[in-house]
A and B are shown apart, each in its own frame.
Chain A
């Protein structure tokens, strides 16, 4: 009888432990995916899809800005030219937050070196990442009060994930038309680039561009990005 009782106790204990583990698991999952802070918007998914709003007015630092007009039927001239360039070797992108510099290598050759703006109001994550999606343009918004921003037609967006940063959080390299203070932190977590540099990088990085939205796949994997240092 006593043995039966102790077996019952153990099974109840196991059940309780299993139940607690389930709750803890759900909580962690909710925190890391659903409740995690997005790079830009209140709703993380908003900026992850192609969105063109020609004619919309952007807001940044309390100022109204006219975003660049985007015509998806037009082919970028530089895309054709870059396609002809012959570079071989593995592609890697290094972002040095201390010097606010991005350097893109193919093999041992520097493809691009330029000043960027990393996170000012929210830190840019450090670690090793992979580009998982490329979008020709999207909308980014967020902030409150004087920090409110609404930015349609953000060009050449290259989303990255890895090092504990889920894809859905919306961290990316992209062009920025609303400021020209590169070399100094100015973003909400993303890596801001001059539009000309973002365009050049966009058509160079993998996954190789296939339309206005390109997802990385096993056959078309994304370029590695290494982000390191400490923003000033």
Chain B
């Protein structure tokens, strides 16, 4: 009769030690997913804002960027100085490997258009939007400079889109596909016509 409780107590003790040890070991380990790699901790990042003003100081283009798990949401808002006009003119969700940005010379001299830059694994892309948020021409909401250029000129590749050389003239610098510095081009908005320049606009 005396031996039985002792054995029970001993078994309970051993089981308790094993349980405590297991619990402690699980708590100390990082949580793993199916892949066996540590799962990233989900930290909610506040939306980031970047604003660029028009050269005459009348308008501001603001980019709001919100990073999610695997994507980034971008919203572009246009506002005037008096804050009377405030409108979202463009929104896009990209994978976290890609990014959108506002170039410094984004506004056309007449404040009618802006251009944006998209950086991705396949290179940079540039496109033009209307400041009013309306279509540029017909049903065209954005003019994809890079796509249109690549379709027309296989001998050159765009290295930079620097700004506006005139009211509706986007400045494009290129390299030759075969190597070496290429010419500069105007991209005429809204007609979508490219004009090869005799002078390079460095």
Binding site for B on A (CB under 8 A): 60-66, 68, 115, 120, 176-186, 194-196, 199, 232
Interface string of B57-74 (1 = CB under 8 A from A): 100000000000000000
Stretch among B13-21, B128-136, B167-175 lining the A interface: B167-175
User: Does chain A have a CB within 8 A of B183?
Assistant: no
B200 to chain A, nearest CB (A): 10
- The 8 Å CB contact of B57, one of A61, A64, A195, A232, is A195
Inter-chain contact B168/A63, CB cutoff 8 Å: yes
CB distance from A216 to the nearest CB of B (A): 27
Q: Mark B132-170, 1 if CB is under 8 A from A, else 0.
A: 000000000000000000000000000000111111110
- Asked if A181 meets B56 with Cβ closer than 8 Å, knowing A60-B166, A63-B166, A63-B169, the reply is no
Residues of A within 8 A of B199 (CB): 120
On whether the beta carbons of A180 and B107 are closer than 8 Å, the reply is yes
Query: A63-B168, A176-B55, A178-B166 are known contacts; what are 9 more A-B pairs with Cβ within 8 Å?
Result: A61-B165, A61-B186, A184-B162, A185-B202, A186-B201, A194-B56, A196-B53, A196-B55, A232-B202
- B57 proximity list for chain A (CB < 8 A): 195-196, 199
Cβ–Cβ contact A61 & B169, under 8 A: yes
Q: List 20 A-B contacts (CB under 8 A).
A: A61-B166, A61-B169, A61-B186, A63-B169, A66-B110, A68-B56, A176-B55, A177-B55, A178-B109, A179-B109, A179-B163, A179-B164, A180-B107, A180-B108, A181-B201, A182-B163, A183-B105, A184-B171, A184-B201, A232-B202
Chain A proximity of B97: nearest CB distance (Å):
28
Q: B193 on the interface (CB 8 Å rule)? A: no
What is the chain B residue whose CB lies nearest that of A181?
Answer: B163
Cα separation A214 to B109 with both chains bound (whole Å): 28
Interface assignment of B50: CB less than 8 Å from any CB of chain A: no
Q: How far is the CA of A130 from the CA of B201 in the complex (A)?
A: 29
5 interchain residue pairs of minimum CB distance? A181-B163, A61-B166, A194-B55, A196-B57, A232-B202
Q: Which residues of B contact A184 (CB under 8 A)?
A: 162-163, 171, 201-202
The smallest beta-carbon distance between A154 and chain B, in angstroms, is 13
Q: Which residue from chain A places its CB closest to the CB of B169 in the assembled complex?
A: A61
Query: Once A and B bind, how many residue pairs between them come within 8 Å at the CB atom?
Result: 74
Question: Is there a chain A Cβ closer than 8 Å to B104's Cβ?
Answer: yes
Chain B contacts of A177 at CB under 8 A? 55-56, 109
Inter-chain contact A181/B167, CB cutoff 8 Å: no
With the chains together, A84 CA to B57 CA distance in Å?
21
Chain B residues near A61: list those with CB within 8 A: 165-166, 169, 186
A182 near B104: Cβ-Cβ < 8 Å: yes
Residues of chain B lying within 8 A (CB to CB) of residue A60: 166
Rounded to whole Å, the gap between the CB of A200 and the closest CB of chain B is 10
Closest residue of chain A to B199, judged by CB? A120
Task: Please give me the residue from chain A that is nearest to B105 by CB atom.
Answer: A180
* CB nearest to B111 among chain A residues: A180
Complex: how many Å from CA A196 to CA B177?
A: 39
Which residues of B183-202 are within 8 A (CB) of A?
A: 186, 199, 201-202
Query: Which A residues are CB-close (under 8 A) to B169?
Result: 61, 63
Candidate in B107, B165, B169 with the most chain A CB atoms within 10 angstroms: B165
Q: How far is the CB of B158 from chain A (nearest CB, A)?
A: 15
A202 CB, nearest partner CB in chain B, Å:
13
A196 x B202 contact (CB < 8 A): no
Partner of B105, one of A66, A68, A181, A232: A181
Residues of B within 8 A of A178 (CB): 109, 166-167
- Best-buried of B57, B109, B168, B202 by chain A (most CB within 10 Å): B109
Contacts of B202 in A (CB 8 A): 184-185, 232
Residues of B within 8 A of A176 (CB): 55
Question: Whose C-beta in chain B lies nearest to the C-beta of A62?
Answer: B166
The complex places the Cα of A185 from the Cα of B168 at a distance, in Å, of 18
Bound-complex Cα distance A37 to B61 (A):
40
Q: Decide if B55 touches A65 in the complex (CB within 8 Å).
A: no
